[in-house]
């Protein structure tokens, strides 16, 4: 079969022949891959910047996808740590980490949406005690995960959603997705009295936004939960100590490890249903897997999805 193979953290993937996968465990099965998204997580695990990267090579990247099992059923699958990912014609999955999909779904749409959608979906459903009527601010709202977070927060009953980003053109489109206000990072104080922050950027931009928000809050004793989800702007953020002493700020992370795998899996069916029904806007573009070397570092607002 053909697959994309990475041989070092600093090496791009190479498309070529690869040994056929073999199922070994009780719940494992060999499946045909129909579509697999190029997510930030897939890149980060491949280049070693994600904390779950194993450093074992050769590596076939790809952390999830839409597959067809031997009985012909479509499944969305999230892979555990493995060196045989979904950027291949076939792979091995653990059936317990998958959900059966309707036959008429668009594999590219599902593969492009589930990973970025799951980040905010799981954060609000499983990582914190989010309540209907709370107000949410999203840092990094112009990216794929951030755009979907706007829609997901509204779906879960957020009273107001403030979308924060750096791209003015993309910000203008966010009210159509449900954002009550679209703000630049310099304007975050206007959303000071939110209850929850979903942070997809971290780094200096998050730290720079934090203090103006906290000092502008009408009631500094009101709880604010800051959920750190992504680190597009940097792995470390210089958080001022006063932010933790002068307000009721709680910073938590949401991701692999802080949320048990079983909780992620439990949320898959409802998220897949929402995506299938068109309740969440998805920007995904299919790319032949054979073109992975050219697409690997492409800058685009769409979620690239590889199809064998």
| CATH number where 270 lies | 3.90.180.10
Q: How confident is the model at residue 256 (pLDDT cuts 50, 70, 90)?
A: confident
Same domain, 145 and 244: yes
End-to-end Cα, the chain, rounded Å: 10
Domain shared by 28 and 104, yes or no? yes
Question: Is 17 part of a structural domain of the chain?
Answer: yes
Q: What is the pLDDT of residue 124?
A: 98
Name the band, by pLDDT with cuts 50, 70 and 90, for residue 139: very high
How many domains, in total, are found in the chain? 2
Question: What is the mean pLDDT of the segment spanning 149-160?
Answer: 98
Domain termination residue (choose one: 253, 272, 295): 253
CATH of the domain at 185: 3.40.50.720
The answer on 169 and 136 residing in a single domain is: yes
Q: Distance between CA 87 and CA 208 in Å, rounded? A: 37
Average of pLDDT values for 251-270? 94
Task: Give 94-114 pLDDT, tens digit per residue.
Answer: 999 999 999 999 999 999 999
pLDDT at position 49, please?
A: 86
The percent of residues in the chain predicted with pLDDT above 70, rounded, is 100
* Spatial distance between the Cα atoms of 195 and 97, rounded to a whole number of angstroms: 32
Asked if residue 124 belongs to a domain, the reply is no
Let me know whether 78 and 24 are in one domain: yes
136 and 249 inside one domain? yes
Residue 299 is predicted with a pLDDT of 84
Same domain, 152 and 237: yes
Q: Are residues 228 and 163 in the same domain?
A: yes
For residue 55, what pLDDT band results from cuts at 50, 70 and 90?
confident
Does residue 174 carry a pLDDT above 90? Answer: yes
- pLDDT interval class at 86 (50, 70, 90): very high
- Taking residues 247-260, report their average pLDDT: 95
Residues 197 and 301 in one domain: no
pLDDT at 58: 94
Same domain for 273 and 243: no
Residue 300's pLDDT is: 86
| pLDDT the model gives residue 64 | 97
Read off the pLDDT band of 173 (50, 70, 90). very high
Closest to 135 measured CA to CA, from 157, 164, 166, 165: 157
pLDDT tens across 20-42, in order? 999 998 999 999 999 999 998 89
Of 10-14, 18-22, 50-54, the least confident = 50-54
In this prediction, residue 81 carries a pLDDT of 84
Q: What are phi and psi of 144, to 5 degrees?
A: -60, -50
Same domain, 233 and 277: no
Q: 220: how many CB neighbours lie within 10 A of its CB? A: 14
Assess contact for 235 and 203: CB atoms under 8 A: yes
Alpha helices in 138-260 (DSSP H): 144-155, 168-172, 203-215, 241-245
Residue 138 lies in a domain: yes
Q: Residue 233: give the domain boundaries.
A: 129-253
Calculate the alpha carbon distances from 51 to 16, 58, 144, 270, 274 in Å. Answer: 28, 18, 21, 28, 30
Beta-carbon contacts of residue 50 (< 8 Å; ≥ 6 apart): 41, 44
- Say what the pLDDT of residue 166 is: 93
Residues 104 and 136 both lie in one domain: no
* pLDDT score for 85: 97
107 and 148 co-located in one domain: no
pLDDT band at 57 (very low <50, low <70, confident <90, very high): very high
More confident residue, 140 or 298: 140
């Amino acid at each position: 079969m053909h697959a994309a193979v990475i041989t070092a953290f600093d090496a791009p993937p190479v498309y070529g022949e690869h040994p056929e996968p073999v199922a070994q465990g009780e719940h494992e099965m060999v499946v045909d891959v129909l579509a697999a998204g190029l997510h930030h997580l897939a890149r980060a695990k491949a280049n070693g910047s994600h904390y779950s990267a194993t450093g074992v090579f050769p590596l076939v990247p790809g952390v999830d996808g839409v597959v067809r099992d031997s009985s012909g059923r479509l499944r969305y699958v999230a892979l555990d740590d493995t060196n045989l990912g979904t950027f291949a014609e076939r792979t091995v999955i653990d059936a317990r980490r998958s959900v059966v999909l309707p036959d008429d779904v668009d594999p590219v749409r599902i593969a492009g949406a589930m990973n970025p959608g799951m980040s905010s979906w799981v954060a609000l459903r499983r990582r914190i005690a989010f309540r209907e009527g709370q107000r949410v601010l999203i840092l990094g709202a112009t990216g794929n995960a951030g755009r979907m977070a706007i829609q997901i927060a509204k779906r879960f009953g957020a009273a107001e959603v403030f979308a924060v980003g750096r791209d003015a053109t993309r910000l203008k489109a966010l009210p159509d997705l449900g954002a009550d206000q679209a703000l630049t990072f310099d304007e975050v104080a206007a959303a000071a009295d939110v209850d929850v922050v979903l942070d997809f950027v971290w780094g200096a931009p998050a730290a720079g936004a934090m203090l103006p928000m906290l000092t502008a809050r009408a009631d500094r004793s009101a709880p604010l939960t800051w959920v750190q989800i992504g680190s597009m702007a940097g792995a470390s953020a210089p958080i001022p100590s006063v932010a933790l002493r002068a307000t009721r700020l709680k910073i938590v992370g949401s991701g692999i490890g802080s949320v048990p795998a079983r909780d992620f899996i439990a949320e898959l069916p409802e998220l897949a249903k929402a995506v299938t029904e068109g309740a969440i806007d998805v920007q995904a573009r299919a790319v032949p897997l054979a073109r992975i070397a050219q697409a690997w570092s492409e800058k685009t607002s769409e979620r690239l999805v590889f199809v064998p």
